[in-house]
Amino acid sequence: MFKVAVLGASGLLGRALADELALQPDWQVVSTAFRRAGSQLIALDIRDAQAVAQFIEREAPDAVVVAAAERRPDVCEHDPALARALNVDAVRYVAQAAARRGAWVLSISTDYVFDGSQPPYRYDARPSPLNAYGRSKLDGERALAETTAFGCVLRLPLLYGPIVDWTESAVTSLVPAIAASAHGTADTKPAVMDAWAIRYPTFTPDVAFVIRQMLEHHARGEAINGIAQWSGEEPMTKYEIALRLAEALQLGEARLTPQYTPTDATPRPHNCHLDSSRLEALGIGRRTRFDTAIREVLVKFPWPGDAAGSS
Residue-range domains of the chain with CATH: 2-160+202-229 (3.40.50.720), 166-198+236-271+290-307 (3.90.25)
As a whole number of angstroms, the longest Cα–Cα distance in the chain is 64
Please report which confidence band the pLDDT of residue 311 belongs to, taking 50, 70 and 90 as the band edges: very low
pLDDT above 50 for 310? no
Interval 19-40 mean pLDDT: 86
Interval 74-90 mean pLDDT: 90
Q: Is 130 exposed, middle or buried (0-12, 13-18, 19+ CB in 10 A)?
A: buried
Cα–Cα distance between 150 and 267 in angstroms, integer? 33
In tens, the pLDDT along 105-115 reads 999 999 999 99
Q: Which residues are catalytic?
A: 133
In tens, the pLDDT along 244-285 reads 999 999 887 888 999 999 888 888 999 999 999 999 999 999
Cα–Cα distance between 176 and 162 in angstroms, integer? 16
DSSP SS3 for 97: helix
In tens, the pLDDT along 170-207 reads 999 999 999 888 876 667 788 899 999 999 999 999 99
The pLDDT assigned to 37 comes to 59
The model carries a pTM of: 0.93
Q: Residue 251's closest CA among 181, 196, 165?
A: 181
pLDDT above 90 for 236? yes
- Greater confidence (304 vs 30) lies with 30
